[in-house]
Chains A and B, each alone.
Chain A
């Protein structure tokens, strides 16, 4: 990788300062995507601002009817969290299925969502569970956060500090992993809260998206049969050597039904 200046701030404010001061700074969270990218010389930032020493960014809180997860909380901590497991088991399951154990020990929720990788799992959790992203300056609803392929609503020097999840009545995540990379080829989060149902899909398209037709059908009848007949269009879905758009479209249906079944 190319060389860079390394910063290790101990507060969010200092991190923002460092980011503003850098010519082409990048935030280093868990580094699970960024470091391989740098190793392959696909990016050459002037500065890396490591969030690893900022204590306030790490941890899980259950307050105000929400589960709030600090941006620098590793996936393993979410997967093993007693409170997450009790309140939103689907979220613990999803975190437990990200990458491999070593990735889960380093990779963070903030890093994952700020990257908006089309094959990442967390975007499906945020959108499916109607979460809110907290940054150093504002709150952004998950629906407004993910903008496209590797694109979010974050400003250049904005840092994710936490994600807050409301407590669903029922939620489940079903994933079909890419056989090689093990990223989600299709991952579907189905959640019911206050009578409303959300269905969020990752892996299949350039960015996480919802399926209003399924959501409506499930709001009336929360059972796999309710969405059996719903055709998913392959238009605009990802297509690669591992799966065509048509196959991904089919898997979206299958995973959605499995997620609903698992909610029972």
Chain B
């Protein structure tokens, strides 16, 4: 079984993984980082979104071996003593209910803000095509991301 090594949330991490092991399973099962979730098997729900080398990707559609040597950031790596501004905005604007899609939403939202520092409502709604939420109707997620983008500037 190949050994896979990567930097996860700023720390070196490695473990054995069959070639068929998905990145999400490597994170969850080998590294115990269970904040990244699996909500579908067709790469559409986005509960598994993490950042690989600074870009948001679906960790259920990437092999762990493909991330060998990469920098990976998961939801566990965002808060630095206090909540990341995007996390704080989700709380402030009630952008989560059951919380299951939330890690992927937050990771996706942060990548959006890197592309577009002041996204409009429609920018946000379009960007979220790859993140499905069944609880919130997206209304408060959109508000949270707008506020989070604002907060990330400051």
Within 8 Å by CB, do A and B touch in the complex? yes
Interface residues, chain A, with chain B CB atoms under 8 Å away: 1-6, 8, 28, 31-32, 35-36, 38-40, 48, 50, 52, 76, 80, 99-103, 105-106, 181-182
User: Judging by beta carbons under 8 Å apart, are B63 and A36 in contact?
Assistant: no
A3 touches B56 (CB 8 A): no
A3-B46 contact in complex given A100-B130, A103-B130, C-beta closer than 8 Å = no
A36, A50, A105: the one contacting B55 at CB < 8 Å is: A105
The distance in angstroms between the C-alpha atoms of A181 and B49, with both chains bound, is 18
Whether the pair A36, B43 counts as a contact (CB closer than 8 A) is yes
Cβ–Cβ < 8 Å partners of B111 in chain A: 101
Contact in complex: A8, B65 (CB < 8 Å): yes
B18 at the A interface (CB under 8 A): yes
User: A101-B127, A102-B56, A102-B61 given. 12 additional CB < 8 A pairs?
Assistant: A1-B20, A3-B19, A6-B19, A31-B66, A32-B43, A36-B43, A39-B22, A39-B60, A48-B19, A48-B63, A52-B66, A100-B131
Q: Is the CB of B19 within 8 A of A105?
A: no
User: For the complex, what is the distance from the CA of A2 to the CA of B20, rounded to whole Å?
Assistant: 7
Verify A36–B41 contact, CB threshold 8 A: yes
Which B residues are within 8 Å of any A CB, using their own CB?
2, 18-20, 22, 41-44, 46, 49, 55-58, 60-63, 65-66, 68, 108, 111-112, 115, 127, 129-131
Say which residue of B55, B63, B115, B127 sits within 8 Å of A31 (CB atoms): B63
Chain B nearest Cβ from A67, distance in angstroms: 22
Q: How far is the CA of A160 from the CA of B42 in the complex (A)?
A: 25
Q: Which residue of B lies closest to A38 (CB)?
A: B20
Whether A40 pairs with B41 at a CB distance below 8 angstroms is yes
Residue from B19, B20, B66, B108 in contact with A102 in the complex, judged by beta carbons closer than 8 Å: B108
| Residues of chain B within 8 A of A8, CB atoms compared | 65, 68
Kindly provide the distance from the CB of A50 to the nearest chain B CB, expressed in whole angstroms: 6
Instruction: Tell whether, in the assembled complex, residue A6 and residue B63 are in contact, meaning their CB atoms are under 8 Å apart.
Output: yes
Min CB distance, B86 to chain A, in Å?
15
User: Across the interface, do B56 and A35 meet the contact criterion of CB distance under 8 Å?
Assistant: no
A-B contact pairs, 12 of them (CB 8 A): A3-B18, A32-B43, A35-B22, A36-B43, A36-B61, A40-B41, A48-B19, A99-B130, A100-B130, A101-B129, A106-B58, A182-B129
A102 lies within 8 A of B46 (CB): yes
**Given known A2-B20, A101-B130, A106-B57, contact A36–B108 (CB-CB < 8 A):** no
Choose from B20, B68, B127, B131 the contact partner of A3 (Cβ within 8 Å): B20
Q: Which residue of A lies closest to B49 (CB)?
A: A102
A100–B61 touching, CB < 8 Å: no
Q: Which of A4, A36, A76 contacts B20 (CB 8 A)?
A: A4
**B residues in contact with A106, CB < 8 Å:** 57-58, 61-62
Contact A31-B19, Cβ < 8 Å, known A36-B43, A101-B130, A105-B56: no
- Residues of A with C-beta under 8 A to B57: 102, 105-106
CB neighbours of A2 from chain B (8 A): 20
